[in-house]
Amino acid sequence: MVQLKMPSSVADAWPENAWISRAERPVQTATSGPLAGLRFAAKDNIDAAGFATTAACPAFAYEPARHASVVQRLLDAGAALLGKTNLDQFACGLNGTRSPYGAVPNAIDPAYVSGGSSSGSAYVVATGEADFALGTDTAGSGRVPAGLNNIVGIKPSKGLISARGVVPAAQSVDCVSIFARTVDVAARVLAVAQGHDAEDPYARRLAMATTPLPAAFRFGVPAPLAFCGDALAEQAFAEAVERLRALGGTPVAIDYAPLAGAAALLYESALVAERYAAVRGFVDAHDDQIVEPVRSILLAGKGYSAADLVDAQTRLRAFGQQAAAMWDGIDVLLVPTAPTHYTVAQMQADPVALNRNLGAYTNFVNLLDYAAISVPSSLRPDGLPFGITLIGPAGSDWQLADLGQRYHHATGLTLGATGLPLPPPVPIAALQPAATVDVVVVGAHLSGLPLNSQLTERGAVLLRADETAPDYRLFALPGTVPPKPGLLRVAPGRGARIAVEVWRMPATAYGSFVALIPPPLGIGTLSLADGSQAQGFVCEPLALEGAQDISHFGGWRAFLRDRATA
C-alpha cells in the first residue's frame, strides 16, 4: 500500500522533501462523517498502520500494529489519510532543516525555512496537497510552521487530544497539533480529534469554555518585544495590534520576563532530560544515526541528576505563578508567531542560535499549560508571511478559535500558498453565544459623552445609531451632573423621532448597569423607528414639569452643540 522512500542522502530526497511516505491510494475507513471529503497527512512521528514511523530517522523506523488514537478518530469521521510528512528529526527543532530526508522549503518562498518540527505537515497544507495535517507541538512546532507558511495552526490544551501512538519528544508537554488553511477546518478537526484516552498517561478531562470572549476584550502585548533586527516583522506586528484593536480589543502591556524565564528552561535546564528519556534506548545504542544538532541536544539530557530535574520543575512552577497574575488583567495574550524569517542557508550555518530565535514566543506555552492558535496576519512588503498567535489558559481552545477566525477574515489574505480567497467564516460549533441585552441610550451614555464608560466597562459594544418611533419628547433635565435628558413617550402624533444609540451588553453585566441609573431616570421598553423594541432610558413624567422641551433638536448631541455655540 505504501511506497516508503528512505534516501541515503539529502541529494536523494524527494524534490519537495515534504513527504516521507505516501499511500498509493488514500487510506479511508468511513465514507461519511463530519470530516467526509477531507484529505489529511500525518507527521511521521504519529503512527498510522501500514506506514513505517520513522521520526525522520531511518534507523529508528518501525511498523506500528495500529493507528494512533487521533488518526483512528479522524478516519472514523470520514477523513482520508494521504501519507506521512517530513519533520525535524525526533521533533527536535523549529526550522525544518534537521532531517536526513532534506530541508522542507517554505511554501511561499523556497529559499526560506518552513519552520519545524512539523515542517512537512505545514507545507502540504499550504500548497493545497492536503486539506489539513497533523503535527505535534512541544515548543512551538504546531505554530511556527503555520506562521511562516500563511496557514492556521491550532495547538490544543495539553491532554485534549490523545498522544497514544505518538513518538514522544517531551511527553509531559507534548500536544498533537492541527494545520489547516482556515480556522473552520482546523476547529472541525479538533472537535473530532479531542477526547479522553486512558491509554495516554497525560490525557485529561478538561472543562472547556463554551462562550466567546467578550465583545470588548483585553489582549496582552509582551514588553519588551524583540524581532531579531527584522523591521518588517516589527511593523507587521504593530499592524496586528491595530487590527485586533479594531475587532474590539484593548491592548495591555504585560511583563514578558516570567514567560521568557519559563521558555529558557526548556533547553537550558534539566527539563531537557525529558527529551533524552523519550528515546533513550535508541539514543544510547545508535547515537551515530542521529543528525546534528539533534544528537547533541538529546545527549545533553544524560548529564542531569534527578535532583537537577526537581529543581528545574520547581523553578518552572515559580515562573508559572508569576505569569498567572497577567490573566487578571487580560482575556487573551497576543504574540508574534515567530519574530523573523531565515533562509535555509542561514539556518544551516547557525542552526542552534537561529532555531532558538524562532521559538522566542512559543517555548513557554506548553510548559505553562496554555492553549494557542496561530493565524495568518499579513504578507510583508518582501512577500513573506507574518503570523500572530493568540494564547489563553487551558480550556480556552474554542474561544481562541472564534477570535482567531474573526482576525483571519479581517486580514483579506488568500489561503496558504494557493492564491485562493478565504471562504466565508463559519460559527465555531462548540461555542454557545453569550446571553446579551440591547440597551437604547439617549443622553450622557452616548459614545464619547461622560457616562459612556459605564457601558464600555461592562463589555458593551455599539451596534448602531438609530432613532425612536415618532412618539417621544426629549427634555433637558435641570440641575443634573453631568447634564442629562429625559425621554417621555407621548400620544401618537404629538411626538418626534429622537436620535439614540443601541448598545449590546452581556446579560451578566446588565444588573450592575441598571443599578447605576439615578431617579427620575429608569429603564423601560422603547419603540424604535423600524418598529422594533428594546430596553432603554425613560423618565418619570413628574420630573419633567418645568423642564425645557428640546425635541425639535432631534437628539441630545444636537442640543449640546447648539448650547456650546450659543
Residues 411-448 pLDDT 10s? 999 999 999 999 999 999 888 877 889 999 999 999 99
Predicted TM-score (pTM) of the model is 0.80
Q: Which residues are catalytic?
A: 43, 117, 141
117: in domain: yes
383: in domain: yes
Angle made by CA atoms 524, 525, 531, in degrees to the nearest 5: 160
- Examine the domain organization and report whether 75 and 150 are in the same domain: yes
Using DSSP, state whether 555 is helix, strand or coil.
coil
Do 85 and 112 meet the contact criterion of CB atoms below 8 Å apart? no
- Examine the domain organization and report whether 461 and 383 are in the same domain: no
138: in domain: yes
422: in domain: no
- Examine the domain organization and report whether 91 and 172 are in the same domain: yes
Locate 242 and state its grid cell: 491595530
CATH number of residue 511's parent domain: 3.10.490.10
- Examine the domain organization and report whether 403 and 456 are in the same domain: no
CATH number of residue 161's parent domain: 3.90.1300.10
- Examine the domain organization and report whether 7 and 49 are in the same domain: yes
Do 128 and 355 meet the contact criterion of CB atoms below 8 Å apart? no
Give the structural domain span for 521: 436-565
- Examine the domain organization and report whether 505 and 376 are in the same domain: no
Give the number of domains in the chain: 2
Distance CA 142, CA 107 (A): 16
Buried-state track 261-278, b at ≥16 Cβ within 10 A, e below 16: bbbbbbbebbbbbbbbbb
- Examine the domain organization and report whether 407 and 447 are in the same domain: no
Integer CA distances (angstroms), 106 to 58, 267, 347, in order:
24, 25, 13
Do 78 and 125 meet the contact criterion of CB atoms below 8 Å apart? no
Distance CA 428, CA 402 (A): 6
Locate 48 and state its grid cell: 498510522
- Examine the domain organization and report whether 385 and 499 are in the same domain: no
Specify the residue for cell string 494521504.
Answer: 82
The DSSP code for 452 is T
Buried-state track 439-473, b at ≥16 Cβ within 10 A, e below 16: bbbbbbbbeebeebebbeebbbebeeebbbbebbb
pLDDT tens for the 566 residues of the chain, in order: 333 333 333 333 344 699 999 999 999 999 999 999 999 999 999 999 999 999 999 999 999 999 999 999 999 999 999 999 999 999 999 999 999 999 999 999 999 999 999 999 999 999 999 999 999 999 999 999 999 999 999 999 999 999 999 999 999 999 999 999 999 999 999 999 999 999 999 999 999 999 899 888 999 999 989 999 999 999 999 999 999 999 999 999 999 999 999 999 988 899 999 999 999 999 999 999 999 999 999 999 999 999 999 999 999 999 999 999 999 999 999 999 999 999 999 999 999 999 999 999 999 999 999 999 999 999 999 999 999 999 999 999 999 999 999 999 999 999 999 999 999 999 998 888 778 899 999 999 999 999 999 999 998 999 999 999 999 999 999 999 999 999 999 998 899 999 999 999 989 899 999 999 999 999 999 999 999 999 999 999 988 988 999 999 999 999 999 998 87
324: in domain: no
The DSSP code for 256 is -
Residues 450-460 pLDDT 10s? 999 999 999 89
Strands in 237-281 per DSSP E? 249-255
- Examine the domain organization and report whether 156 and 28 are in the same domain: yes
Give backbone dihedrals phi and psi of 533, rounded to 5 degrees, phi first: -130, 150
10: in domain: yes
- Examine the domain organization and report whether 134 and 22 are in the same domain: yes
Q: Which amino acid is at 105?
A: P
270: in domain: no
Burial (CB count <10 Å: 0-12, 13-18, 19+), residue 507: exposed
**383-386: Cβ within 8 A, 24+ apart:** 383/108, 383/109, 384/106, 384/108, 384/109, 384/112, 384/148, 384/232, 384/341, 385/108, 385/147, 385/148, 385/149, 385/150, 386/147, 386/232, 386/233, 386/236, 386/237, 386/240, 386/336, 386/337
Distance of CA 449 to the CA centre of its chain: 34
- Examine the domain organization and report whether 407 and 480 are in the same domain: no
- Examine the domain organization and report whether 58 and 170 are in the same domain: yes
Could you write out the three-class secondary structure of 154-165?
EECCCCCECCCC
470: in domain: yes
Distance of CA 423 to the CA centre of its chain: 19
